[in-house]
Each structure stands twice: as C-alpha cells, then as structure tokens.
Amino acid sequence: MSTRIAFLKGHGTENDFVIVPDPENAIDLPPAAVAALCDRRAGIGGDGLLHVVRSAAHPEAKDMAAEAEWFMDYRNGDGSVAEMCGNGVRVFARYLQRAGHATEGDLTIATRGGVKRVHLAKNGDVTVGMGRALLPEGDVVVSVDGRSWPARNVNMGNPHAVAFVADLAHAGDLYSPPAHEPATAYPDGVNVEFVVDRGPRHVAMRVHERGSGETRSCGTGACAVAVATARRDGADPAVTGTPATYTVDVPGGTLVITERPDGEIEMTGPAVIVATGEFDSAWLEGVLA
C-alpha cells in the first residue's frame, strides 16, 4: 500500500537539501533512494539529503543521545554517506526550529562528526561550532583542463584539498571531479576547493564536492578554505593568540568563518526552508524495483 511521506526543501547559501523527518528511523533510505530523491529532473532535487532522526533511534547516534536529541543522518546527492556537512547542520537547525523542536538560541545536533553546538540568531543567521581542522602533511596537486595547482590538505571531519588559483574560471565546468596527484592521496574521495583573494581576510571559492558535484556552497569547504588561507597569510590563531575571521564568498552567498586560538572554528551563515511536500512511497519503490 502506498503511503505519503512528508519532506521539506531547504538551503544554506544555496547548498540545497531534501529534508526527510523520520523521528523513529522507520523510513528505509538506501543509497539508490537518496539518489532518486536528490535527482533534479526525476526526483525532488538537492545536493544532499538530511534524514532527521532522534539520536536514540539511530545506531550511529545513540551514544550521543544524552547530549543531542536529534541526529543529522546526512547523505550526499549520489547516496553516499559523509562524515559532516556544515551547511546541512544550519539547515537542519532551521528545520528543528520550524518543527517546534528548537527555539532561537543554543541547541546541539548529533552528526557523524560528533555533537555540534549551534546558535539560531534573531536575524536569521545560524552559527555552528565546526570543531578543529586537521592539516595532514603531504603535498597534493590538483588539475583541471591541463592546469595544475598545489593544494593544501585540510580535514574538517571530511577531506578537503584547497587550491589557490588566479581566476575561479580556471577550474573549468567542474562537471567531473578534478584529478589529483598522488592518485592514492584520498582513498575515500575528496572535496576540492578553488580559491581567489578578494581583499584582506576575504576570499571567494568554488567547490567540487565528493558525492554531489559542483555545488553553490560547502560549509566544511569554506572552513577548510579559511584555515588554509590563514596559514598562507601567517595568521594562525594558535601562534598569534588572536582569532582569525575570514569572509568566504561562495557562488550562493557568503559565509563568515572564525578560527580561535584553541583551534575551534565557528561558521555563520543563513539557512532557509523553502518548501514542504509529500512524495509517494509507491513512486520510490518503483524507482528502486
């Protein structure tokens, strides 16, 4: 028997998500179902999917239930699982507020990257404590259309390669993932950011996301870019003792990233719910058959 399954659509700086509320973790969402829902022509459409589950009801999150009631079961648009999604956390928080599970102010959200502290501000911005960046050693070179750049390895819970370029157009159409050397550098894939300077502590980026393709924003990517730029600029907060704040323009808007002397990173930006709807379970079963 076909049932109707509620969904919402939201975005954070135009990194867009299908949101599926499922408090008791009762909806089966194998990778093919996620990919079908995120399909922009045959499905609802999104860079990724936010499966909203009570932490206590999800095997990967029950240990976090005492600290955070809700678990962001994030999936990329191709159905793959990722450790973390920075824009996703902001949109997830906005959903919780809309559904009456959270109010303006502070809340916590469980993710595969641990429990994240979130602040829902009056002006519509959402700030997320993104944790610390890891900067694994190792030279990486990324290439697109015959051009190559050295890239900085930054891990924000998920892997990023950050390349400073002369012109964002040099990244080409980004219809396929940029090549990288050594080819074995990222056994689980990588998100690649291309960065140009816009002014003092102000950069712009494009990103090719693992599992989603080019997107109009990537929160973890913007944090990786801010950290890589601060190191390039000699503005490592752990060394200077003062926080470093960078404005990062993405094709879909602007994110503000602050790294503190203890290494903790905060990201602030908008998060919007744009639509609600229902899809037929029979449609999804048909797609999966």
Ligand X SMILES: N[C@@H](CCC[C@H](N)C(=O)O)C(=O)O
* 15 is known to lie in a ligand binding site: yes
Minimum Å distance from CB 158 to ligand X?
Answer: 3
218 near ligand X, judged by CB under 6 A: yes
Catalytic status, residue 38: no
Minimum Å distance from CB 269 to ligand X?
Answer: 10
Q: Which of 55, 97, 155, 191 binds ligand X (CB under 6 A)?
A: 191
Minimum Å distance from CB 244 to ligand X?
Answer: 19
131 near ligand X, judged by CB under 6 A: no
- Residue located via tokens 């959903």: 95
Which CB atom, from 14 or from 197, has the smaller least distance to ligand X?
14
Query: Active site residue: 33, 37, 72, 85, which one?
Result: 85
46 near ligand X, judged by CB under 6 A: no
Residue type, 38: C
Q: Which of 8, 15, 128, 163 binds ligand X (CB under 6 A)?
A: 15
Q: What element of type H or E holds 23?
A: none
Total residues binding ligand X (CB under 6 A):
18
- Residue located via tokens 């290494």: 263
Nearest to 101 by CA among 142, 149, 55, 37: 55
Site pattern 144..183 for ligand X (x: CB under 6 A)? --------------x-------------------------
Q: Which of 25, 76, 111, 229 binds ligand X (CB under 6 A)?
A: 76
Q: Which of 25, 97, 111, 220 binds ligand X (CB under 6 A)?
A: 220
Catalytic status, residue 85: yes
* 76 is known to lie in a ligand binding site: yes
97 near ligand X, judged by CB under 6 A: no
Structural tokens at position 100 = 């009456």
210 near ligand X, judged by CB under 6 A: yes
Minimum Å distance from CB 225 to ligand X?
Answer: 11
Binding residue numbers for substrate: 15, 76, 86-87, 158, 191, 209-210, 219-220
Catalytic residue numbers read: 85, 218
Which residues of this chain interact with ligand X, rule CB under 6 A?
15, 48, 76, 82, 85-88, 158, 191, 209-212, 215, 218-220
